[in-house]
Chains A and B, each alone.
Chain A
Amino acid sequence: MGTITALGLVLLVSMVLVSGKQGVQAFLSLLFNFGALFFAIVLMAFHLNPIVVTLVTSIIVLAMTIFLGGSDDYSTEVAFYASLIVLVVLVLVIVPVEHWAQIQGFGQEDSEDLEGMSNVLGINYLQVAMATAILSTLGAIAEAAIAISAGLAEILEQHPKIELKNLQGAGLRIGKQIIGTTFNTLFFGFFGGFLALFIWFASVHYSLGEILNDRIFVGQILMVLFSMISVIATIPLTTSAMMLRVRRMRENPNKSE
């Protein structure tokens, strides 16, 4: 048995043991997200526009992660719509910044990987860089949106007549609770993944100036920052989406479930 299969089995079994049906759902959403990501790469290799492929993949991935992850119906729905708005905000930040910073493609540190490879690719790597940045934040957006909307749904359950203004304050309060730990999830997630690169910088004695202008380094830090920005943006946007939803439900009580 391959290591990936074995680890996958261990994960599945522990998920089921720890939380039953929810565990199965969590495993399926991971499996699905892998499939979606791989499929997106294949489509880009077949010269479909990387940005278009990424946006379609993102919408599907957000839907699957949020609907398979969350628990009750209307808070997951709010989380999903909010995450789509965050996606739009994120694209509006990423596109100009990547044009400016030009971190696409490979750096001199990648020479070993590139040896013997053709660089006649015919794929716009600036767009590939944008796609990579967008895709890497999807999990973080989904998680933050679920956390905020689930927290707000719980408050609404306890205080069904809460004023919208107070609901807004509550959203921000939940946001303040999650921001510290979420930042650390992102920080360690990214820095753990790029430990080797930093060790490279240290052992080849890069100067601070070289590091701060290095294509790979800047690209990595930008990805961390983009995901931080998207998590921050998720907090007010999810709260607003929930307020809108509650206002509609109160105006048309018959239509709501």
Chain B
Amino acid sequence: MLGIAHDDGLYQQSIMKITTVKTTANEQQSDQFENKDRQITQAVTGTITNGKDKGQQLTIKNTYMKSQATTQAYYRHQHVFLTLHRHHGEITSSTISGLKRDTSLAFVVWLTLSVLLILMRFSGAMAFLSVVVNAVLFAMAVNWNSDTQGSKVLVIFGLLAIVFAALTLLIVIGPNKQMLMTLATTIGGTALSIIIALLVFMVTNEKGVYYESMQYVTQLPKPLFLAETLLGSLGAVMDESTDIIASLTALKEERPDVTAKQIFKSGRQIGGEIMGPLINVLFFIFVADTLPLALLYFKNANSWGYTFNMTMSLGVIQSLISGIGIVLTVPLACGITSMVLGGKKPWARLRH
């Protein structure tokens, strides 16, 4: 933790520690939409903390809007990255290119880990491990995607989803029949939601799907959007199938004479209870994120409909597709479990 607060030397880019900040101007601004804001100019003085200019003092002008949507205020004690312009080795002008945020990020990671380990101990460590494993795989897949110029995005992330699910379930459940059933349900439920989404897209001719409103797009948007949706719902579908199948397996252990039909029925009941809250988890993750952009659209005098289409609609579509996956996972989990554990069907024994 303390190390990261003093890691300035690791960066190539010059870093300055701010020692004083003076406000030099503060004036009212307004635009053609009658929005009002204040534009503030500050003189930021500090000392460079790394590289060959270490120790040098600089004063840099920074102008920002009080709302800080696209510009930013700086304060004393902050560490900031600099862009320096030189002439014959002497610094002629400099601008602040951004705040150093790694310390605050590391602090919150540390906080999360501490709470997790203190409270959950081994289970917490396993939960964290599975997230780390997934994050590493995710980074590898992102690189693979870039190496192939995004032409195989759906294949890559479809495969990745299967690997993700298998690894995570191995960590969470362990290598057994229950894990295989959960894996089959997870893959089936996620695939089903994407297939249904594609069918609906075909029927409606993608009316009201504004791919142009996707952010940070550097490749063909439609497959990228589907890959995002696939990954987004994978965790929830996995969560749900784990819950349902674990409960049903426990039920079978408690009452070995339970029939396939009873297993199906009680799985449906468990599923019905968890699917609603789970869909809302994803909805808030997908849609709350669009708040800053939606506000920007509103304040630029766009209508409610246009703002919705350009900012929130893709998140809503993602929530709906994931929702369909989450709902259909319930009968899928019940069906697979009752067939495998119910014991009547001949191929149930083959699966084992």
* Interface, chain A (partner B; CB < 8 A): 1-8, 10-11, 14-15, 18-20, 22-23, 25-26, 29-30, 33-34, 37-38, 41-42, 44-45, 65-66, 68-71, 93, 97, 100-106, 109-110, 113-114, 117-126, 128-129, 131-132, 135-140, 142-143, 146-147, 150, 172, 175-193, 195-204, 207, 209, 212-215, 218, 221-223, 225-229, 232-233, 235-236
Contact present for B105 and A222 (CB under 8 Å): yes
Q: Which of B284-311 contact A (CB under 8 A)?
A: 284-289, 291-296, 298-300, 304, 308
B13 to chain A: closest residue by CB: A209
B21 CB within 8 Å of chain A: no
Contact present for B131 and A198 (CB under 8 Å): no
Which residues on the B side are within 8 Å of A103 (C-beta)?
101
Q: Provide the bound-state CA to CA distance between A3 and B72, in Å.
A: 39
Which residues on the B side are within 8 Å of A71 (C-beta)?
273
Query: What are 12 A-B pairs with beta-carbon distances under 8 A?
Result: A4-B208, A69-B277, A102-B99, A118-B32, A136-B285, A184-B130, A192-B230, A198-B138, A209-B102, A213-B99, A222-B108, A225-B109
A137 touches which one: B115, B196, B246, B284 (CB < 8 A)?
A: B284
B51 CB within 8 Å of chain A: no
Which bracket fits the contact residues of B? 35 or more
Contact present for A122 and B67 (CB under 8 Å): yes
B10 to chain A: closest residue by CB: A209
Looking at chain A's contact residues, the main secondary structure is: helix
B275 to chain A: closest residue by CB: A26
Q: Which of B161-197 contact A (CB under 8 A)?
A: 164, 168, 171-172, 196-197
Q: Provide the bound-state CA to CA distance between A70 and B217, in Å.
A: 39
* Interface, chain B (partner A; CB < 8 A): 10-13, 29-33, 35-37, 65-72, 81, 98-102, 104-105, 107-109, 111-112, 115-116, 119-120, 123-124, 126-128, 130-131, 134-135, 138-139, 142-143, 145-146, 150, 153, 157, 164, 168, 171-172, 196-197, 200-201, 203-204, 206-209, 214-219, 224, 227-236, 238-239, 242-243, 246, 268-269, 271-289, 291-296, 298-300, 304, 308, 312-313, 315-321, 323-324, 327-328, 330-331
Q: Which 3 A-B pairs have the closest CB atoms?
A: A192-B232, A188-B235, A26-B276
